[in-house]
């Protein structure tokens, strides 16, 4: 029995979306996941972006993809791989890790020198990176 689909644009007619859904079912995609995507994001996004979306969930996980989509648009989903920089407890933790990875080893500094990682994030890194639900993504893929 066909799934009832409400079109969201002239591009994504109910018939086109249904045909695309059936083709993806034949390729092994999960029907319930596709239906949920259509209900959440619409038929047009399903037609254009579902396969990239499903690939990113397989490559990462649902939480990472959701965090990415809190900040970026569905049309950007193909860039998640380039944008993803890990999961951190805070912007400050990312800033410290970023500086350390750059080769600036702060443990060689005298013990009395303190680094303000929050300020490093806010004035330096937040221009190029986004912190979303514990995940860090580059704004410049």
Report the distance separating Cα 42 and Cα 4, nearest Å.
12
pLDDT digits 0-9 by tens, 77-96: 999 999 999 999 999 999 99
pLDDT digits 0-9 by tens, 20-35: 999 999 999 999 999 9
Whether residues 74 and 134 fall in one domain: yes
Mean pLDDT for 102-127 is: 84
Instruction: List Cβ neighbours of 29 (8 Å cut-off, separation of 6 or more).
Output: 50, 54
- How many domains does the chain fold into? 2
pLDDT digits 0-9 by tens, 37-64: 999 999 999 999 999 999 999 999 999 9
Whether residues 69 and 137 fall in one domain: yes
Whether residues 66 and 125 fall in one domain: yes
Q: Is 29 left (phi over 0), alpha (psi -120 to 50) or beta?
A: beta
Whether residues 49 and 64 fall in one domain: no
Domain that holds residue 34: 1-55
Whether residues 141 and 98 fall in one domain: yes
What pLDDT, on the 0 to 100 scale, is given for residue 107? Answer: 65
Phi, psi of 107 (to 5 degrees): -75, -5
CA-wise closest residue to 88 among 48, 33, 129, 28: 129
CA-wise closest residue to 95 among 129, 125, 128: 125
Q: Domain boundary at 55, 78, 95, which?
A: 55
Whether residues 131 and 65 fall in one domain: yes
Whether residues 15 and 80 fall in one domain: no
Q: Judge whether residue 14 has pLDDT over 90.
A: no
Instruction: List Cβ neighbours of 20 (8 Å cut-off, separation of 6 or more).
Output: 46, 47, 50
- What is the SS3 assignment for 8? coil
């Amino acid at each position: 029995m066909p799934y009832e689909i409400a079109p969201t644009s002239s591009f994504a007619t109910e018939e086109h979306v249904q045909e695309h859904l059936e083709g993806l079912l034949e390729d092994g995609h999960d029907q319930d996941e596709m239906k949920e995507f259509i209900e959440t994001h619409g038929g047009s996004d399903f037609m254009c972006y579902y396969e990239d979306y499903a690939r990113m969930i397989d490559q990462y996980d649902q939480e990472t993809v959701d965090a990415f989509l809190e900040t970026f648009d569905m049309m950007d989903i193909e860039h998640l791989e380039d944008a993803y920089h890990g999961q951190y407890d805070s912007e400050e933790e990312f800033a410290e890790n970023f500086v350390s990875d750059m080769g600036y080893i702060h443990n060689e500094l005298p013990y009395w020198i303190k680094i303000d990682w929050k300020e490093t994030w806010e004035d330096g890194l937040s221009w190029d990176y986004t912190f979303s639900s514990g995940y860090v993504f580059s704004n410049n893929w």
